């Protein structure tokens, strides 16, 4: 061992997908310097992740490389519902209502759409912003009536089905872990992953709740809190203290913040994590300009 060689403090995390889940592809990744494998539970069935986890362990053992595995839970994603023609055009200045009174099979149009979050009308108020499809479409809440949220289109565009919804600055009454997350958590614990990441954290209580569930399952797997919204940023100090590590989800933060503010906030979060002695992960859109150059 070269004692003069500096200690490597920065690690590389790779998310496995269909193209990288073969033994050959995985071996190349590990030999290229990947230190941690992320299993994205937003996609695929739990049993398929168990098979991938087994492959990672076997490959790492054959290569005699220490590899950690992160189970990244999907979290409470809010999405839009079905549409009559699969997509609609929303024009700036137009009025549109988001209703929670219709069933999951209701097909919306340019005047009325649905959402998967049934508590939306209870959480938002006049002048709140609602961002759809990673911020490509922006609505402003005009008024709320019972189960209906009447909005004005600020930035329009083509809206397709099942697009993500962000509501900057509003604390939502949605549970931190969905039924799917609880099922995936059970699989991750039984599979013996090294870390569990919780998505769309709003407060330290979300982290503590997950830690308690892990303890009740007889495990001590460390929890990584993903910082994806301004709600989490406001509660950052408490979240840092409650978590083993942080993950800065730059893509989701970029939906709620202007792009030039993301690097500044990223640096602040990293500094706070460093001061607390907590590992910190910076994720999404890293070195993206080097894909083709």
CA quadruple 221, 14, 180, 251: dihedral sign = positive
- Single out the catalytic residue among 129, 163, 211, 226: 226
* Separation of alpha carbons 33 and 28, rounded Å: 9
Q: What's the rounded Cα separation, in Å, for the pair 10 and 35?
A: 10
Give the residue among 46, 39, 41 at the shortest CA–CA distance from 20. Answer: 39
Contacts 24+ apart (CB under 8 A), 258-263: none
Q: Is 97 a catalytic residue?
A: no
Q: Classify the C-alpha dihedral 261-262-267-273 as positive or negative.
A: positive
97 within 8 A of 62, measured Cβ to Cβ: no
Question: For this structure, is 180 an active site residue?
Answer: no
Active site annotation includes 79:
yes
Query: Which one of 57, 77, 79, 180 is the catalytic residue?
Result: 79
Q: Are 156 and 137 in contact (CB under 8 A)?
A: yes
Beta-bridge partner residues of 108? 83
112 strand-pairing partners: 97
Catalytic residue status for 77? no
Nearest 10 degrees: CA dihedral of 36, 39, 40, 46?
A: -170
Active site positions, annotated: 38, 79, 226, 284
């Amino acid at each position: 061992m070269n004692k003069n060689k500096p200690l490597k403090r920065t690690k590389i995390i790779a998310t496995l997908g269909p193209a990288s889940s073969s033994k050959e592809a995985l071996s190349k990744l590990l030999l290229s310097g990947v230190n941690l494998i992320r299993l994205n539970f937003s996609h695929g069935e739990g049993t398929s992740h168990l098979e991938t986890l087994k492959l990672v362990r076997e490959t790492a053992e054959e290569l005699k490389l220490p590899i950690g595995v992160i189970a990244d839970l999907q979290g409470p994603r809010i999405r839009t519902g079905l549409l009559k023609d699969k997509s609609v055009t929303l024009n700036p200045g137009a009025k549109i209502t988001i209703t929670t009174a219709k069933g999951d099979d209701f097909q919306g149009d340019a005047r009325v759409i649905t959402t998967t979050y049934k508590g939306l009308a209870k959480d938002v108020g006049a002048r709140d912003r609602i961002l759809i499809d990673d911020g490509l479409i922006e609505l402003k809440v005009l008024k709320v009536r019972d189960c209906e949220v009447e909005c004005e289109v600020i930035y329009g565009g083509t809206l397709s089905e099942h697009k993500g919804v962000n509501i900057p600055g509003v604390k939502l009454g949605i549970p931190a872990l969905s039924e799917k997350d609880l099922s995936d958590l059970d699989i991750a614990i039984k599979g013996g992953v090294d870390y569990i990441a919780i998505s769309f954290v709003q407060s330290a209580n979300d982290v503590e709740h997950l830690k308690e569930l892990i303890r009740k399952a007889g495990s001590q797997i460390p929890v990584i809190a993903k910082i994806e919204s301004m709600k989490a940023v406001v509660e950052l100090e408490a979240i840092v203290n409650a978590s083993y590590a942080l993950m800065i989800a730059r893509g989701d933060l970029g939906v709620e913040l202007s792009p030039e503010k993301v690097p500044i906030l990223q640096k602040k979060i990293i500094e706070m994590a460093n001061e607390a002695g907590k590992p910190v992960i910076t994720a999404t859109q890293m070195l993206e300009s080097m894909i083709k150059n």
